Amino acid sequence: MVSPRRQPLAQIVWAILFVAAVAAIPVLNRQTAVSAGPGDSSARFGFRLQDVARDAGVDFVHQAPTFDPQLNHIMPQVASTGASVAVADFDRDGWQDFYLTNSAENSHNRLYRNTGDGRFTDVAAQLGVAEVNRSGTGVSMGAVWGDYDNDGYEDLLVYKYGRPLLFHNDGGKAFVEVSERAGLPAWVNANSATWLDFDRDGRLDLFIAGYWPDGVNLWRLETTRIMPESFEYANNGGRKYLLRNAGGGAFQDVTSAMGITSRRWTLAVAAADLRGTGYPDLFFANDYGVSELYANEGGARFVDVADATGVGRTPKSGMNASFGDVFNDGRLSIYKANISEPGVLVQGNDLWVPKTAGGSEYDNLAPSLGIDLGGWSWGAQFGDLNNDGTLDLYLVNGYVSAGERSSYWYDFSVIAVGHSSIIGDARNWPDMRGRSFSGYQRKRVWVNDGLGRFTDVAQSVGARDAFDGRAVAFADLGNRGVLDVIVANQGGPALVYRNTVAPGRHWIDLELEGTRSNRSAIGARVEVTWGGRTQRQDVLAASGFSAQNQRRLHVGLGASASVERVSITWPSGRTQVIERPAVDHLHRITEPHD
Amino acid sequence: MTELTGVAAAGPLPKGRQWFRLDNRFLPPLLITSILLTAHLSFGILEGWERTGLAIVTALVTEAALGRITCGKWPYAASAYITGISVGILLRSQYFWPYVLCAFISIVSKYVLRFRGRHLWNPSNLGVSLVLLLAPDTVSLLSVQWGNVVAPMVVIWLLGSVIVWRVGRFYLSATYVASFLLFSFVRAAESGTPWVAAVAPITGPMYQLFIFFMVTDPKVTVRPMWAQCFVVFLVAFVELIFRLNEVVYAPFYALCLVGPSALLVEMWLDARRAKIQVAV
């Protein structure tokens, strides 16, 4: 005990500690997000981005849908998705093309063909994939490419709030709708879908994730009790569809038989072999609830291991699912975007890093790496934007940009905490009255320093748009050995950021084609070893939110002018090693037959 | 959100209430612990046990150090435990430091922010309010339902009511709820939102903690029962003002302002009365 004479001294010491603790709060708050100031971006960070969409002939402006008038008071929220981008070389001419979806009734989607001279031509109407939003059939929410019949040409699935459409690619010259013959469901209110060969039979299967329940027709509501029953524990969303490719262009619904029972509000889905079993697992980023991680048990069934592994314990508002080997150690981490609005709701984005190679347990390292705070986050992609040998992260964000000086957040915070009987009925939701809702947000381009820290350089490198970003995809649009960036904005223009990388940085590109495996090689696992490090990249279909990157894998090498080896594990299970491949070169690799 | 334990500790159990044999001092810690365990095991409300554990340990260690150094005795741990667990439940952050600082500030405030021998703020109310104000980028508050079924909500309301009644503070919780409901009509009319939306917050667990553990804190409320009710009514009124100005964490800021102000007024009145008595 302090003697009576010393008590005042003790009081003073405690008072100083109290003041110091209070003063530390704003200091620590500021230090959580590392952002770079202005400067010469290519010198400091090794790259810069410039929007060239208009010059390249990309003049697409997304149109949002308009649903039943009973939702007029919250229309900007319920009609807040549909802008998407999916990249593929659909005509096999060696140049990456991309497909953009539109979401107003009777609006047209665009298929931008890369003419190889830095320009793009919309060929959607000519090839038969433009008019997919006809009144009464629903509207587009996204698209994903995959060669389901192994004929060498990427086919196109358009998922909608409505009837999903499958288009067969006829030699890159036309698309023929085959949805009915394929046996696709009549109506799914989906925000995500992906191709995967879950049973490794060499044919791509299809997964479509419902968001709203299937029975809801958003244009003709029978009831206004359509909203999630809880902000964080909702289980009344859309059903999921795992459609096994039976061959001959037919798909068979095996969802229940394979153990997928989720009725959560899934916004993003991605598939990759996360556990080293050789079979692709499925990760769902769910809105209004916990994530789900369906482990693929040898192609025979899926088991949700999200809780056991730690990735599905804390409910948030998941909107993105992308995979990346951020530490160059062969482990795929999962990046899931959520909501962060200062002073109201700070969920923080998650980077789930496996503790072990088998992915039996994960840690969320997003706060430690500085990639947790991204506003109302949507799509994100990993890719080496500056060719320094580590994966960077591009994130788009922003929910509803309307009245600049008004916010809907208070009203949302009131309804979001309400009991299911309150939150579940759209009539109870306060009128938005033209207010913004996490609008006009600055994007994040986090550069990975390879030492466990990311720095946001978006403003410095030129990613300065403030549209309501939804989807982002990477593609080498000019075959220059760099990743360019395509951004799809909700109710806004599509952006094409041309990437200029500082000289002296090497790279290697790999384009895979399966023989025994599915021809798109979706699910192939590639490890590139150089200069004492190994980076893993997988060939994926869907990645991020409503997005698909180029299938071609791009690995930056930094100053290293050589690669020791490339190891490929094909979806069939066959392994292949290529010793000392040339750098600064695109390698087209076909799966060996024997 | 700490001192509910103090009331029952002051005297023996009243006759007729001895059916409940458990020492009342243990009731609030037990209630809040059971709320936490039920909510997290059922719905996974926490970012992780580590953060809540950190807040509890910080509160307990700080309280022990302060009690020992300043007062020369080991303090009763229930109060600090409730502060720590409250901080651990209420705060939502991916970082660890907000839990440490909030718990530390809450406990130290009891020893530092004093006037005429009394501490003025409900400790966790002050700590949480400061962290929310000063760390908007990294901290938010528990603001969601625990699950979406009625049963847990009803159980917590009933259990909470029984316990605050048991420790003789039910009238405060009831006054607050009545005031909130009354003012929700005003808010609905003023903002044009549906009345059920205006009422919605009180159906959430954040309010359950606020109503059962914060507004009932005897150490930081005035003495006469009618005045206590009036102060709680004022808290709801100031909350109304904040809410009309779209302040999300209105109840915490309202209590943070009204509670100490009421105490200061009471102390001033006491002093004046004492002077008059001396003069007479």
Beta strands in A181-239 (DSSP E): 188-196, 205-210
Q: Give chain A's length.
A: 594
Q: Is any Cβ of chain A less than 8 angstroms from the Cβ of B277?
A: no
Contact B223, B269 (CB under 8 A): no
The nearest CA of chain B is from the CA of A330 a distance in Å of 26
The closest of B208, B207, B255 to B235, measured between CA atoms, is: B255
The closest of B8, B46, B47, B51 to B27, measured between CA atoms, is: B8
Rounded-to-integer distance, Cα A530 and Cα B158, Å:
64
Beta strands in A333-399 (DSSP E): 333-336, 340-341, 345-346, 350-354, 362-364, 377-383, 392-397
Please give the backbone phi and psi of residue A135, each rounded to the nearest 5 degrees, phi first.
-55, 135
Q: State yes or no: pLDDT of B8 exceeds 50.
A: no
Nearest CA in chain A to B63: A14
pTM: 0.92
Q: State yes or no: pLDDT of A4 exceeds 80.
A: no
Q: State yes or no: pLDDT of B18 exceeds 90.
A: no
**Helices and strands per DSSP (H, E), number in chain B:** 12, 4
Residue found under tokens 């949507």 = A378
Whether residue A419 and residue B150 make contact (CB cut-off 8 A), yes or no, is: yes
Contact A537, A526 (CB under 8 A): yes
The closest of B221, B216, B215 to B267, measured between CA atoms, is: B221
Question: What is the per-residue pLDDT across A306-336, written as a single tens digit (0 to 9) for each?
Answer: 999 999 988 899 999 999 999 999 999 999 9
Q: What is the 3-state secondary structure (H, E, C) of A236-275?
A: CCCCEEEEEEEECCEEEECCCCCCCCCCCEEEEEEEECCC
The nearest CA of chain B is from the CA of A25 a distance in Å of 6
pLDDT at site A43: 74
The gap from C-alpha A571 to its chain's centroid, in whole angstroms, comes to 22
- A354 or A421, higher pLDDT: A354
C-alpha angle A476/A480/A486, rounded to 5°? 25
Per-residue tokens: A402? 């309307």
DSSP states of A163-193 = --EEEEEETTTEEEE-HHHHT--S-EEEEEE
What's the one-letter identity of residue A551? R
List, in sequence order, every residue forming a beta bridge with A403; answer none if it has no partner. Answer: A435
Mean pLDDT to the nearest integer, A31-58: 82
Mean pLDDT to the nearest integer, A62-82: 98
pLDDT at site B29: 84
The closest of A239, A305, A289 to B147, measured between CA atoms, is: A289
Question: What is the per-residue pLDDT across A357-378, written as a single tens digit (0 to 9) for each?
Answer: 788 999 999 999 999 999 999 9
Band of residue A119 on the pLDDT scale cut at 50, 70, 90: very high
Average pLDDT of every residue of chain B: 85
Q: What is the 3-state secondary structure (H, E, C) of B222-269?
A: CCCHHHHHHHHHHHHHHHHHHHHCCCCCHHHHHHHHHHHHHHHHHHHH
pLDDT at site B5: 43
Rounded-to-integer distance, Cα A509 and Cα A332, Å:
19
- For residue B55, CA distances in Å to A168, A255, B60 come to 58, 44, 9
Nearest CA in chain B to A13: B112
pLDDT at site B154: 81
pLDDT at site B150: 72
Rounded-to-integer distance, Cα B182 and Cα A72, Å:
29
The gap from C-alpha A150 to its chain's centroid, in whole angstroms, comes to 25
Question: Percentage of chain B with pLDDT > 90?
Answer: 49
Residue of B41, B91, B130, B138 to mutate for A, most A C-beta atoms under 10 A: B138
Question: What is the per-residue pLDDT across A525-580, written as a single tens digit (0 to 9) for each?
Answer: 999 999 999 999 999 999 999 999 999 999 999 999 999 999 999 999 999 999 99
Band of residue B6 on the pLDDT scale cut at 50, 70, 90: very low
Rounded-to-integer distance, Cα A453 and Cα A451, Å:
6
pLDDT at site B11: 42
- For residue B72, CA distances in Å to A574, B5, B67 come to 73, 21, 6
C-alpha angle A33/A37/A40, rounded to 5°? 135
Per-residue tokens: A361? 């347990």
Mean pLDDT to the nearest integer, B132-148: 81
3-class DSSP assignment, residue A316 = strand
List, in sequence order, every residue forming a beta bridge with A304; answer none if it has no partner. Answer: A294
Average pLDDT of every residue of chain A: 95
Start-end of H helices in chain B: 5-9, 27-43, 49-66, 77-90, 97-112, 123-134, 150-166, 170-191, 195-199, 205-209, 225-244, 250-279
Mean pLDDT to the nearest integer, A86-111: 98
Q: State yes or no: pLDDT of B15 exceeds 60.
A: no
pLDDT at site A417: 85
CB-CB neighbors (< 8 A) of B87 in chain A: none
Q: Is any Cβ of chain A less than 8 angstroms from the Cβ of B97?
A: yes
Contact A158, A208 (CB under 8 A): no
The nearest CA of chain B is from the CA of A421 a distance in Å of 9
Element (DSSP H or E) covering residue A162: strand A155-162
3-class DSSP assignment, residue A393 = strand
Distance from first CA to last CA of chain B, Å, rounded?
Answer: 41
Q: State yes or no: pLDDT of B223 exceeds 90.
A: no
Sheet arrangement for strand A322-324: A322-324, A333-336, A350-354, A362-364
CB-CB neighbors (< 8 A) of B139 in chain A: 29, 346
Residue of B145, B153, B209 to mutate for A, most A C-beta atoms under 10 A: B145
pLDDT at site A249: 97
List, in sequence order, every residue forming a beta bridge with A324; answer none if it has no partner. Answer: A333
The nearest CA of chain A is from the CA of B112 a distance in Å of 6
3-class DSSP assignment, residue A426 = helix
Question: What is the per-residue pLDDT across A238-263, written as a single tens digit (0 to 9) for each?
Answer: 999 999 999 999 999 999 999 999 99
Rounded-to-integer distance, Cα A296 and Cα A487, Å:
32
10 Å Cβ neighbour count for A459? 17
List, in sequence order, every residue forming a beta bridge with A86; answer none if it has no partner. Answer: A99, A548
Rounded-to-integer distance, Cα A337 and Cα A394, Å:
11
Rounded-to-integer distance, Cα B186 and Cα B206, Å:
22
10 Å Cβ neighbour count for B167? 19
Whether residue A418 and residue B200 make contact (CB cut-off 8 A), yes or no, is: yes
Q: Is any Cβ of chain A less than 8 angstroms from the Cβ of B69?
A: yes
Rounded-to-integer distance, Cα A152 and Cα B230, Å:
77
- A212 or B150, higher pLDDT: A212
The closest of A276, A278, A293 to A357, measured between CA atoms, is: A276
pLDDT at site A37: 63
Mean pLDDT to the nearest integer, A427-441: 96
Among A105-109, A167-171, A279-283, B228-232, the least confident range: B228-232
Question: What is the per-residue pLDDT across B98-124, written as a single tens digit (0 to 9) for each?
Answer: 999 999 999 999 999 988 888 899 999
- Nearest CB among A230, A414, A427 relative to B201 is that of A414
List, in sequence order, every residue forming a beta bridge with A174; answer none if it has no partner. Answer: A170
**Distant-in-sequence, close-in-space partners of B279: CB < 8 Å, separation ≥ 6:** none
Residue found under tokens 């008038």 = A69
